[in-house]
Amino acid sequence: MTISTLDVHSPLDGPHPEYDDRPFFDQTLTLLRCVRGHDFETLSNLCDDDFGIVDVDPSGASVAIRTRTEWEHWFQQLFAQLDALDAATDSEILDYVAIEGPTLGYSVLDFRQTLTVGELTATFDCLATIIWKSTPDGWREARWHASVISTDIPDGFGA
């Protein structure tokens, strides 16, 4: 199931004039919107992840993913788990900086991710470093490393 972005107002859908002119910002928005919408196909097309990723699971723990097969399994399993829980995720960008070179670039994304299950919402403040590479099809994510900086998980969440 792909959740429609029209169903809920999201900070990802608002204007971002302070970041719009920065390299890879549109792609970064797409990454976050794909997670929000459980859009595996678009996410898969934007990510190359030659060197794997370090992501955050629904409990806030780090998950090391080293191969494309593991990457596909991770996101298919994650999206299925979120769908089964009727969970909603969203993100709010708190800060974004990036540098673009001719063939490689990187960005640092400071964001707040929410996970809502039923009436309860957990909040995860995260910092992600993203390595971008130029391909014949445009810029692709080559490496994602997210760390949880702080959490606010309500009592009874996930029980």
pTM beyond cutoff 0.85? yes
Q: Which of 81, 92, 93 is nearest to 38 (CA)?
A: 81
Residue 159 token pair: 């029980």
Residue 123 token pair: 């909040």
Task: Please give the pLDDT value at position 159.
Answer: 61
Long-range contacts of 68-73 (CB under 8 A, 24+ apart): 71/47, 72/44
Q: What is the largest CA-CA distance in the chain?
A: 49
Q: Phi and psi at residue 7, in whole multiples of 5°? A: -70, -25
- What is the Cα–Cα distance from 53 to 33, expressed in whole angstroms? 18
Q: What is the mean pLDDT of each run of 10 residues along the chain (159 residues)?
A: 53 95 98 97 92 88 93 96 96 98 98 96 97 96 96 88
For the chain, list the domains and their CATH numbers: 20-152 (3.10.450.50)
- What is the Cα–Cα distance from 130 to 22, expressed in whole angstroms? 14
Task: Please give the pLDDT value at position 4.
Answer: 42
H or E, element range at 97: strand 88-100
Which residues have CB under 8 Å from 103's CB, separation 6+? 133, 134
